[in-house]
Structure 1
Amino acid sequence: MLYRKHLIATATCLSAICISSVQASESAIQAHCLEKWSGDAMRAYCLEEQREAADAVAGYSGAIRSRCESEWHADFHMVLFCIKEQQPPSQATVADAIAD
């Protein structure tokens, strides 16, 4: 029973952290797109692009992500691009390069 209560408390805390992180990302995205674009259509496109990139960035961790976030701050599209550029090549990529 104690384990179950501890598990529930831990899950609740993690949920609060995730919600807080999502809210922080959303406000950073809003500010970034508002600063970058004055037109509604481009701002809407920017918001969609940044939200998708922020979701993808959330799947990464480590020094590369930290370095890219330090460089690009709230521009999640560029953070994601930076991460992908610095990731070691996958086996499939290496095999394709050797075949060429």
Structure 2
Amino acid sequence: MRKSLISAAALITIATSASAQTYNADAVKAACSDEWGAEFDMVKYCMDQRAEGFDTYIALKSAAPDMFAISFANCETEWGTEWEMVAYCAKSERDSAAQISSATQGLPDDIANIITSNCTREWANEFTMIAYCSKQQAAAWRSINQ
């Protein structure tokens, strides 16, 4: 039987994000000011983008199943107060998770299971990489077997 995304995700250990989900306007202002200096229009744009990114991220995180806890925490760790990038990263993780099972559609169930298991084991909670790995492995299998 083909593993679904849910069963593949069951292989993943779930953890709660330790990072704070609070918007620190002072930290964002300092970071944007450091980046843009006296270009005040760009400082404001940077701050606005980060505020919007934070709101988007919080909405994504609130709606996401627990299986995304680690990958979303990784996004927070990687991008810090660049909330627009945290949101982009989280969207990418969510969208990639939906692509994992479609990558192996049409393959024999045992091959699809092997690919999904191997990629999940290799990339753990990085859904973008699990999806990429699954697509690459499925394409390689198809090229040598069809």
- Shorter-chain TM-score bucket reads 0.5 to 0.7
Match for 2:121: what amino acid?
S
Shift of 1:31: 1.5
Structure 1 stretches of 4+ with a deviation exceeding 3 A read 58-61
Is 1:29–1:51's contact at 8 Å kept on the other side of the alignment?
no
Structure number with higher relative contact order (C-alpha < 8 Å, ≥ 6 residues apart): 2
1:63 aligns with 2:123: no
| Structure 2 SS opposite 1:74 | coil
Query: Which of 15, 18, 36 is residue 78 of structure 2 equivalent to?
Result: 36
Q: Which residue of 1 aligns with 2:57?
A: none
Cα distance in structure 1, aligned partners of 2:96 and 2:78? 16
Deviates further, 55-64 or 71-80: 55-64
Cα distance in structure 2, aligned partners of 1:72 and 1:89? 22
Cα distance in structure 1, aligned partners of 2:135 and 2:101? 13
Shift of 1:79: 0.6
Cα distance in structure 2, aligned partners of 1:25 and 1:57? 14
Cα distance in structure 1, aligned partners of 2:130 and 2:85? 20
- Return the TM-score normalized by structure 2: 0.43
Identity of aligned residues (%): 28
Higher helix proportion (structure 1 or 2):
1
For this pair of structures, how many residues does the alignment match? 74
Report 1:41-60 matches (<5 A): 41-59=84-102
Q: For structure 1, which runs of at least 5 residues remain unmatched after alignment? A: 1-16, 95-100
Alignment root-mean-square deviation, CA: 2.7
Cα distance in structure 1, aligned partners of 2:75 and 2:117? 22
Query: Which of 67, 85, 107 is residue 25 of structure 1 equivalent to?
Result: 67
Match for 2:70: what amino acid?
A
Shift of 1:58: 4.5
Is 1:25–1:54's contact at 8 Å kept on the other side of the alignment?
no
